[in-house]
């Protein structure tokens, strides 16, 4: 096992221009693209890999705008490093001079503001920098490196789309899959754990059917707004009254839409909701409760027909393989020292990256790295206001400090890859 000094010496010997990558990060941040529409991001990444002149085999347009670069360097493990590329329909409010002003039409044709509110711009930049650094270190490792840039993570379809689009007929099947995510935690810090690392997620669109009419004649109608309000309130009792307090579950209604004006009672309402769980039995219990509550409230309200419950997205439970994660932990512990937490909490958020491994029965390891300015974090923590004052992922105020966040992400990818591909 390489010690901290050996790893630091290896990485230092393969100098890369971080100024260039900071500029590239700002470009990605100010030019975000929604899920399914990541064409320019993928093109920029592919062009950058080509300009490295490092013999990467580049494969584009996999499962949409998916991109993979393959660097073959003798015998050994095949390691896949993954980054996601898509942004969110959020209006940025960070005040940065490189803040996004982009708007795009979503898949429903609605024009929306777009922001990298989840840090995928940082993921892409870190992976491109790691691709250059590892290419410059070819004398220090042996095997095959895959750098994969995935579209459509936010809608839970990108990893499966790449697999279904023939990913593994174009590139080698990896021995293991590694990935990371920038989070609202102290910059420079790294967190990982054996076992569950991110939650399973299910999203639904629920259509409730009433009977529309004049706002002054509610007795002649079945008001879907009142029905929807009852459903939303009752759904909140699932976690508090039906899930064991020792178990984890989140039920969130993120959207409720009905009607167009104040004096017309609409004939339907639409609820969009999201569920997070970390246990299969709990998941089944929660989903069954949702269906029971929705149907029961519709019957109690005299709805004109059965509700329509449609699953829109589903993320798998992300589980870090014990064997490879312990190896990553050893390397991270030696390299990052006390900045590394080997027992970080399982995140309530979700990811689809593990499909890149599970589709072929291959193990995965995923970790988090912090993006909040160290001084800001410490001062906010001392005031006891981390939850209130530190913007989290998907917030219009979420903006990782570029350094040391970027360097930490690059170091983590390189150290993890070298754990399995280094020369004896």
pLDDT per residue over 75-98, tens digit each?
Answer: 999 999 999 999 999 999 999 999
Contact 276/203 with Cβ under 8 angstroms?
Answer: no
**What distance in Å separates the CA atoms of residue 53 and residue 305, rounded to the nearest whole number?**
62
Query: Average pLDDT for residues 181-210, to the nearest whole number?
Result: 98
The question of whether 86 is a catalytic residue gets the answer yes
**What distance in Å separates the CA atoms of residue 162 and residue 175, rounded to the nearest whole number?**
17
307-359 residue pLDDT tens: 999 999 999 999 999 999 999 999 999 999 999 999 999 999 999 999 999 99
Nearest to 138 by CA among 419, 418, 420: 418
pLDDT at 8: 75
Nearest to 117 by CA among 33, 217, 222, 226: 33
**What distance in Å separates the CA atoms of residue 268 and residue 295, rounded to the nearest whole number?**
15
Cis ω before 404 (30° cut-off from 0): yes
**What distance in Å separates the CA atoms of residue 141 and residue 130, rounded to the nearest whole number?**
14
Q: What percent of the chain has pLDDT over 70?
A: 99
pLDDT at 19: 97
What is this structure's pTM? 0.92
List the single range of 6-15, 136-145, 288-297 with lowest mean pLDDT.
6-15
**What distance in Å separates the CA atoms of residue 13 and residue 8, rounded to the nearest whole number?**
8
For the record, the structure tokens of 341 come out as 């937490």
pLDDT at 14: 79
Residue 144: pLDDT over 70: yes
In angstroms, how far is the first alpha carbon of the chain from the final one?
Answer: 9
Alpha helix stretches (DSSP H) within 199-358: 224-235, 237-242, 280-301, 322-336, 355-358
For tokens 């790294």, the residue is: 190
Cβ-based neighbour number of residue 232 at 10 Å = 16
pLDDT at 2: 52
**What distance in Å separates the CA atoms of residue 152 and residue 164, rounded to the nearest whole number?**
14
Q: With cut-offs at 50, 70 and 90, classify the pLDDT of residue 424.
A: low
345-385 residue pLDDT tens: 999 999 999 999 999 999 999 999 999 999 999 999 999 99
Contact 198/351 with Cβ under 8 angstroms?
Answer: yes
What does each C-alpha distance from 196 to 153, 185, 331, 413 come to in angstroms?
Answer: 19, 19, 20, 20
Query: Average pLDDT for residues 267-285, to the nearest whole number?
Result: 97
pLDDT at 423: 75
**What distance in Å separates the CA atoms of residue 122 and residue 369, rounded to the nearest whole number?**
11
Residue 234: pLDDT over 70: yes
pLDDT at 182: 98
Nearest to 99 by CA among 396, 410, 323: 396
Q: With cut-offs at 50, 70 and 90, classify the pLDDT of residue 4.
A: low
369 strand-pairing partners: 182, 190
The question of whether 352 is a catalytic residue gets the answer no
For the record, the structure tokens of 245 come out as 């307090």
7-41 residue pLDDT tens: 777 777 778 999 999 999 999 999 999 999 999 99
Residue 50: pLDDT over 70: yes
Residue 398: pLDDT over 60: yes
pLDDT at 187: 98
Average pLDDT, the chain: 96
Contact 86/153 with Cβ under 8 angstroms?
Answer: yes
Alpha helix stretches (DSSP H) within 31-119: 39-51
**What distance in Å separates the CA atoms of residue 410 and residue 422, rounded to the nearest whole number?**
17
What angle do helix axes 18-30 and 402-421 make, rounded to 10 degrees? 110
For tokens 């999203």, the residue is: 203
pLDDT at 166: 97
Task: Indicate which residue of 33, 38, 84, 86 is catalytic.
Answer: 86
**What distance in Å separates the CA atoms of residue 65 and residue 401, rounded to the nearest whole number?**
28
For the record, the structure tokens of 329 come out as 């932990």
Nearest to 329 by CA among 152, 135, 194: 194
Query: Average pLDDT for residues 138-147, to the nearest whole number?
Result: 96
Task: Indicate which residue of 38, 92, 132, 153 is catalytic.
Answer: 153
What angle do helix axes 120-136 and 18-30 make, rounded to 10 degrees? 150
């Amino acid at each position: 096992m390489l010690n901290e000094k050996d790893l630091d010496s290896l990485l230092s010997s393969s100098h890369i221009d971080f100024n260039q990558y900071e500029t590239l990060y700002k470009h990605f941040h100010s030019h975000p693209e929604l899920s399914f529409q990541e064409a320019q991001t993928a093109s920029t990444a592919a062009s950058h890999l080509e300009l490295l002149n490092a013999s990467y085999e580049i494969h584009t347009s996999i499962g949409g705008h998916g991109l993979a670069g393959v660097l073959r360097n003798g015998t050994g493990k095949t390691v896949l490093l993954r980054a996601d590329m898509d942004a969110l329909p959020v209006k940025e409010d960070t005040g940065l001079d490189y803040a996004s002003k982009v708007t795009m039409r979503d898949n429903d044709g609605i024009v929306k503001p777009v922001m990298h509110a989840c840090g995928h711009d940082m993921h892409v930049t870190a992976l491109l920098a790691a691709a250059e650094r590892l290419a410059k270190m070819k004398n220090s490792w042996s095997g095959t490196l895959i750098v994969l840039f995935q579209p459509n993570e936010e809608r839970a379809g990108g990893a499966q789309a790449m697999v279904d689009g023939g990913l593994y007929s174009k590139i080698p099947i990896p021995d293991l899959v590694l990935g990371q995510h920038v989070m609202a935690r102290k910059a420079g810090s790294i967190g990982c754990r054996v076992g569950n690392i991110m939650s399973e997620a299910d999203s639904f669109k629920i259509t409730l059917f009433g009977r529309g009419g004049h706002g002054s004649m509610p007795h002649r109608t079945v008001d879907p707004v009142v029905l929807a309000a009852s459903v939303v309130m009752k759904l909140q009792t699932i976690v508090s009254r039906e899930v064991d307090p020792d178990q984890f579950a989140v039920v969130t209604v993120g959207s409720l839409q009905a009607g167009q004006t104040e004096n017309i009672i609409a004939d339907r309402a639409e609820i969009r909701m999201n569920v997070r769980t970390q246990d299969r039995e709990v998941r089944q219990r929660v989903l069954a409760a949702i269906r029971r509550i929705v149907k029961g409230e519709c019957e109690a309200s005299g709805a004109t027909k059965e509700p329509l419950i449609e699953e829109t997205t589903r993320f798998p439970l992300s589980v870090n393989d014990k064997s490879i994660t312990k190896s990553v932990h050893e390397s991270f512990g030696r390299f990052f020292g006390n900045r590394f937490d080997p027992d970080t909490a399982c995140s309530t958020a979700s990811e689809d990256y593990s499909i890149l491994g599970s589709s072929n029965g291959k193990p995965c390891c995923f970790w988090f790295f912090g993006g909040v300015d160290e001084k800001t974090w410490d001062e906010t923590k001392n005031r006891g206001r981390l939850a209130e004052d530190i913007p989290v992922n998907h917030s219009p105020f979420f903006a990782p400090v570029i350094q040391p966040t970027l360097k930490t992400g690059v170091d983590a990818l390189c150290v993890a890859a070298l754990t399995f591909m280094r020369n004896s």
